[in-house]
Amino acid sequence: MRRLTATAFLLLGALVAWTGVGAADETVVSEARASFTLGEQAFQRGAFEEALAHFRRAWELSPHDAARFNLAVCLEALGRLQEALAEYEAAAASSSLGSEQRERATRDAAGVRARLGTVSIEGEPAGASVVLDRIERCALPCRLTVDPGTHVVEVVGQAGRTRARLHVGEGEETSVRLDALVRRTERPGRTERPRQPAPTTRPGRGPGWLAWSGAALAVVGAGAGVVLGLRTEALHQDYLDSPSEQLRDEGLSVRAFANGSFVAAGVGLLAVTFDLLVLAPATAGRDDSSR
Phi-psi group of 118: left, alpha or beta (phi > 0 → left; psi -120 to 50 → alpha; rest → beta): beta
Residue, of 176 and 276, whose pLDDT is higher: 176
> How many whole angstroms from its chain centre is CA 203?
44
- Average pLDDT across the chain, whole number: 78
How would you class 135 by CB atoms within 10 Å of its CB: exposed for 0-12, middle for 13-18, buried for 19 or more?
exposed
- The confidence score (pLDDT) of residue 186 equals 40
pLDDT > 90? residue 57: yes
- CA-based angle 31:33:34, to the nearest 5? 65
Query: Is-contact 118 174, C-beta < 8 A?
Result: yes
**Span 258-286, average pLDDT:** 72
* Residue burial 224-249, b: 16+ Cβ < 10 Å; e: rest: bbeebbebbeebeeebeeeeeeebee
Please give the model's pTM, rounded to 2 decimal places.
0.55
Q: Which of 8-17, 229-238, 257-266 has the lowest mean pLDDT?
A: 8-17
Each residue of 20-53: pLDDT tens digit?
444 447 888 888 889 999 999 999 999 999 999 9
Dihedral angle sign, alpha carbons of residues 106, 107, 109, 114: positive
Report the C-alpha gap between 208 and 206 in whole angstroms: 6
Characterize the bridge pairing of strands 117-122 and 173-177.
parallel
Taking the CA atoms of the chain, what radius of gyration do you get in angstroms?
Answer: 50
Nearest to 64 by CA among 38, 40, 98: 98
Helix (H) or strand (E) holding 163: strand 160-168
Query: What one-character DSSP code corresponds to residue 19?
Result: -
Each residue of 92-145: pLDDT tens digit?
998 888 899 899 999 999 999 999 999 999 988 888 889 998 898 888 898 998
**Span 160-183, average pLDDT:** 85
- The confidence score (pLDDT) of residue 76 equals 93
Residue range 117-177 forms a domain whose CATH class is: mainly beta
Report the C-alpha gap between 91 and 104 in whole angstroms: 9
- The confidence score (pLDDT) of residue 15 equals 44
Residues in the chain, overall count: 291
Residue, of 242 and 33, whose pLDDT is higher: 33
**Quick one: fold of 2-114?**
1.25.40
Each residue of 200-231: pLDDT tens digit?
545 555 677 677 787 787 788 788 778 877 88
Report the C-alpha gap between 95 and 99 in whole angstroms: 9
- CA-based angle 38:39:40, to the nearest 5? 90
Characterize the bridge pairing of strands 149-157 and 135-139.
unpaired
Query: Is-contact 89 110, C-beta < 8 A?
Result: no
